[in-house]
């Protein structure tokens, strides 16, 4: 050491040193029960989840409230709700505890023996075309894991925070603040019963046949906006909140036309007497992207699951054909 260097005990404290000093004064045993409380929103359920008595869990909650200077859980009606601070803590706390678990674990990720819960969030239409193949691959490659499919149509961080989703399969048109990677391509098509006039093209079907309309209070399908912009007349016969139910209604009733996803249309076309035609006007693409949980720090698991998803989507990519 140079004579110009200050003694070790005289060197300025770094930000990391300060953080570690503060952390040393905290009872880290509070963190696991805290995460259980935030996820379960119930003292009784959280206590059972981590193997504590209800009085011990209540005592831990009170200590954590004093530590963080926040109520964390407040009663509302018959249940408990999170404070804004508590809601912000779930994702980073979950990440920190999972990282700590990996540090003390003797082995790295091994799909053959791993027992984790794998959560994948997606719309019900996406689950319909890829869910069974994803389930088959996981059962084959990681037989001790549990696959949890969460259906969602929101483009916020809620699936990551509330459902602990490892990845969200998000339609291209839905915005996301997180990086995304294309999983497979999709587009809008016209789906009709073969009982409708067979010599009618897609535009004539849309104009002449009553529509089964995929109704949603939060969005209006872009193809219908295009029809309205071009003053194309059409008549709505039924409104259905579940988009996936639309082709089923048309197939079973033998009547109607709808605008739906190409990949879903192909699935139903192979099972029922349905006709799938290209949408008659240019419309933005409708690819499905992988958006990863930004707090997912297990790189080996993420890389492995990405490969599983790409393999599950390979049949969808192989059958995707651009309109001529």
pLDDT of the residue at 78: 81
pLDDT reading at 207 higher than 90: yes
Distances (CA, A) of 140 to 57, 144, 321: 39, 10, 29
* Rounded distance between C-alpha atoms, residue 250 and residue 198, angstroms: 15
* Confidence class for position 262, pLDDT limits 50, 70, 90: very high
Residue 226 has, within 13 A of its CA and on its CB side, a CA count of: 13
pLDDT reading at 4 higher than 80: no
pLDDT reading at 16 higher than 60: no
Residue 195 has, within 13 A of its CA and on its CB side, a CA count of: 12
Which pLDDT tens digit goes with each residue over 38-70? 888 888 888 888 788 888 888 888 888 888 888
pLDDT of the residue at 154: 62
Q: Mind listing the domains of the chain with CATH numbers?
A: 24-104 (1.10.10.10), 117-179+289-311 (3.40.190.10), 188-278 (3.40.190.10)
What percent of the chain lies above the pLDDT cut of 90? 38
For range 232-256, the mean pLDDT: 90
Long-range CB contact pairs, 264-270, < 8 A, 24+: 264/125, 264/128, 264/129, 265/189, 265/191, 266/319, 267/128, 267/129, 268/191
Average pLDDT, the chain: 84
pLDDT reading at 263 higher than 90: yes
What is the CB neighbour count within 10 angstroms for residue 275? 19
pLDDT of the residue at 102: 65
Q: Is 33 helix (H, G, I), strand (E, B) or coil?
A: helix
pLDDT of the residue at 49: 80
Residue with tokens 């300025």: 12
pLDDT reading at 229 higher than 60: yes
pLDDT reading at 5 higher than 60: no
Q: What stretch of H or E contains 52?
A: none
Instruction: Provide the 8-state DSSP code for 190.
Output: E
What is the CB neighbour count within 10 angstroms for residue 107? 8
pLDDT reading at 181 higher than 90: yes
pLDDT of the residue at 1: 47
pLDDT of the residue at 30: 79
* Confidence class for position 107, pLDDT limits 50, 70, 90: low
Higher-pLDDT residue of 208 and 217 is 208
């Amino acid at each position: 050491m140079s004579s110009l260097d200050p003694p070790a005990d005289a060197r300025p404290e770094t930000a990391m040193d300060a953080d570690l000093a503060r952390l040393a004064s905290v009872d880290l045993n509070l963190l696991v029960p805290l995460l259980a409380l935030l996820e379960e929103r119930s003292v009784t359920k959280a206590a059972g989840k981590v193997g504590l008595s209800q009085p011990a869990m209540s005592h831990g909650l009170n200590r954590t409230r004093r530590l963080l200077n926040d109520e964390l859980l407040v009663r509302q009606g018959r249940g408990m709700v999170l404070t804004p601070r508590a809601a912000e803590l779930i994702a980073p706390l979950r990440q920190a505890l999972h990282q700590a678990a990996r540090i003390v674990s003797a082995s790295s990720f091994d799909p053959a023996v791993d027992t984790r819960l794998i959560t994948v969030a997606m719309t019900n239409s996406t689950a319909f075309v890829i869910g069974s193949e994803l389930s088959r691959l996981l059962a084959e490659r990681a037989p001790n894991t549990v696959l949890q499919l969460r259906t969602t149509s929101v483009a916020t961080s809620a699936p990551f925070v509330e459902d602990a989703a490892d990845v969200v399969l998000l339609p291209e048109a839905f915005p996301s603040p997180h990086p995304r990677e294309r999983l497979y391509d999709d587009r809008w098509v016209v789906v009709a019963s073969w009982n409708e006039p067979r010599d009618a093209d897609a535009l004539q079907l849309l104009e002449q046949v009553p529509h089964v309309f995929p109704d949603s209070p939060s969005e209006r399908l872009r193809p219908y906006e295009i029809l309205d912009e071009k003053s194309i007349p059409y008549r709505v016969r039924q409104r259905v909140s579940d988009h996936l139910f639309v082709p089923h209604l048309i197939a079973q009733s033998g009547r109607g036309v709808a605008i739906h996803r190409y990949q879903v249309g192909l699935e139903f076309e192979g099972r029922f007497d349905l006709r799938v035609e290209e949408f008659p006007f240019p419309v933005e693409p409708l690819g499905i992207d992988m958006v990863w949980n930004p707090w997912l720090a297990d790189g080996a698991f993420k890389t492995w699951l990405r490969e599983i998803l790409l393999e599950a989507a390979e049949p969808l990519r192989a059958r995707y054909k651009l309109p001529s």
